[in-house]
Amino acid sequence: MRQETGQYRIPRVYHDGTTQSRGVGRMSESFRDAAVERIYDEFRFLDDPMMVPSPSSSRPIVSPSITTVESPFRSRLSRWTFAVIPLSQLLVSLAILTFSVLRMYRLTQNRQIANILLDMEKPEDYAHTAEEGTEIIRTRLGAASFLASCMNIAAALTGLWPFCTRQQTSIRILHIFFCGFSVLLWFDSIRTASQEINLTFVQLEDGLIEPSSYPFWISLLVLSSIQLLIIPTLSLSLSSCHLLPSPSSSPLSSLFAFSSLLFSSSALSLSAYSASLTTKSTSEWQPLHEIVNQGALYSFGVPECIVCGYSFILSLLTLFIPLLSPLSFFSSSLILLLPLSSLSLSLYLLSPTRLLSLIHAVLLLSPLTSPSPVSSLLISSIYGSIFALLISQVTQFAICLSSVLSSPKREQ
């Protein structure tokens, strides 16, 4: 009876014999919900930078009985932390834009090619000497980097959308567009830069350049590629949060995500091995008397290594984002990451011209007993993995899109 008056409470014994377990379960659930909502609060400015959390919010950070107030300093700190990515993009892009302008200016000073027209697809093919071809590739690197750096500058400027109070959604959409477009444009620049480094330090033996610095420039190219490809991808993923619907996780989607990871790792390892063979000095190649232009295989595997490396990183993200709770915040970015990876594969590795050349190379190399520098089996294995990777990612994207379209929120 005294329990009803509220003076003291007698521990209640449940029918299953437990006394404290249910209270502890509620307490653990409360702490877990509070931790999740605290993570949500760190990125609350993605929805509305002027929003201040209140107990009456539809997503309270703690239970409604506890009043929480977010300090203005903490909100500004979150936005400035988010602005580090576009600011780094802006600085790097301005430096590359200056470099590209200086490189293209060299075209007006080059008198060696003053009386010849250059091919629209591969301008270096009409060079008479290796030095002329290398000079054309250096100028081509500046032309390839110009538009990509301009797009990256636009992506960096629109990436400051958390500081905008008007038209924030429109600026976010523009930022996503510029980030995706700049990523697609950087692949050609990275491939051309790798060719220039290899020609300068490996193929041209003029004795003026130290070959020992070749690993340093390759490492610098790898770090630059990560900054130019991964940073815009992360910024794109952050900007898509709460802007796009989140696909629901399913075992079938996880299965295709795991298969994409396997195919991308296979294509990456095989293409890296192929690139190590085709970028050696051509004087070390075993001559093939059955083939007239064996040099056409030069740098085969380099574009495949670059694009498949990017697809491998995106496959890791698409696999672990739906599975790990801390990364579930980025689940809406799956609708953008999967098409971005598929477009990269289709545009740079599965173009009609490249497929025609590869099929013809496989037909010519397959009868040879010791083809050099690569075999028809290696070429077929690389592009078999790439085809399987593309099919797996397209299927995963179709599953995610169908889950979004069939969600109860869309039906309402």
- pLDDT (tens, 9 = 90+) of the chain, 412 residues, equals 444 444 444 444 444 444 444 444 444 455 455 555 555 555 555 555 444 444 444 444 443 443 444 444 444 546 666 778 888 889 999 999 999 999 888 777 766 665 677 767 777 776 777 777 778 888 889 989 999 999 999 999 998 887 777 888 888 899 999 999 999 999 999 999 999 998 888 887 655 566 678 888 999 999 999 889 999 998 888 888 777 777 877 888 889 999 999 999 999 999 999 999 999 888 888 888 788 888 888 899 999 999 999 999 999 988 888 877 666 667 778 888 999 999 999 999 998 989 999 999 999 999 888 888 999 999 999 999 999 999 999 999 999 888 888 865 544 4
* Predicted TM-score (pTM) of this structure: 0.77
Name the one residue in this structure whose structure tokens are 């192929």.
274
Q: How would you write the chain as a 3-class SS string?
A: CHHHHCCCCCCCCCCCCCCCHHHHHHHHHHHHHHHHHHHHHHCHHHCCCCCCCCCCCCCCCCCCCCCCCCCHHHHHHHHHHHCHHHHHHHHHHHHHHHHHHHHHHHHHHCCCCCCCCCCCCCHHHHCCCHHHHHHHHHHHHHHHHHHHHHHHHHHHHHCCHHHCCCCHHHHHHHHHHHHHHHHHHHHHHHHHHHHHHHHHHHHCCCCCCCHHHHHHHHHHHHHHHHHHHHHHHHHHHHHCCCCCCCCCCCHHHHHHHHHHHHHHHHHHHHHHHHHHHHCCCHHHCCCCCCCCCHHHHCCCCHHHHHHHHHHHHHHHHHHHCCCCHHHHHHHHHHHHHHHHHHHHHHHHCCCHHHHHHHHHHHHHHCCCCCCCCCCHHHHHHHHHHHHHHHHHHHHHHHHHHHHHHCCHHHHC
The number of domains in the chain is 3
Longest dimension (CA), the chain: 107
- In terms of domains, do 268 and 208 share one? no
Structural domain of residue 144, as residue ranges? 83-235
Q: Give the position of tokens 């506890």.
A: 66
Task: Give the amino acid at 100.
Answer: S
Let me know whether 281 and 146 are in one domain: no
Which pair of tokens denotes residue 296?
Answer: 């056409």
Which pLDDT value is given to residue 42?
54
Sort 137 into a burial class: Cβ within 10 Å, 0-12 / 13-18 / 19+. buried
**Looking at the domain assignment, is residue 34 inside a domain?**
yes
**In terms of domains, do 48 and 124 share one?**
no
Q: Are residues 264 and 408 in the same domain?
A: yes
Mark whether 228 and 260 lie in a shared domain. Answer: no
- Rounded Cα gap, residues 386 and 192, in angstroms: 21
Domain end call among 47, 78, 109: 78
Q: Which of 235, 267, 285 is the last residue of a domain?
A: 235
- 7 within domain boundaries: no
User: In this structure, are 61 and 196 located in the same domain?
Assistant: no
Residues 213, 101 share a domain: yes
Q: Is the domain of 321 the same as that of 373?
A: yes
Same domain for 250 and 327? yes
Q: Residue with structure tokens 């409470």?
A: 9
Q: Is residue 2, in this structure, part of any structural domain at all?
A: no
What's residue 221's pLDDT? 93
Q: Residue 3: what pLDDT?
A: 44
Contact in structure between 400 and 255 (CB atoms under 8 Å): no
Closest CA to 78 of 52, 105, 110: 52
Residues 188 and 302 in one domain: no
Tokens of 195: 């060719």
Shared-domain flag, residues 231 and 314: no
Packing angle, helices 334-348 and 376-405, rounded to 10 = 150
Among the three residues 189, 215, 235, which one is the final residue of a domain in this structure? 235
Is 160 domain-assigned?
A: yes
Instruction: Decide if 56 is inside a domain.
Output: yes
pLDDT of residue 62: 40
Predicted local distance difference test score (pLDDT) of residue 206? 57
Is residue 151 within 8 A of residue 312, CB to CB? The reply is no
Decide if 345 is inside a domain: yes
Query: Residue 407's pLDDT is what?
Result: 67
In a domain? residue 5: no
* Within a domain: 370: yes
155 within 8 A of 175, measured Cβ to Cβ: yes
| pLDDT confidence of residue 16 | 47
Residue given tokens 């429109």 in the structure block: 170
pLDDT at 209: 64
Domain match, 67 and 92 both: no
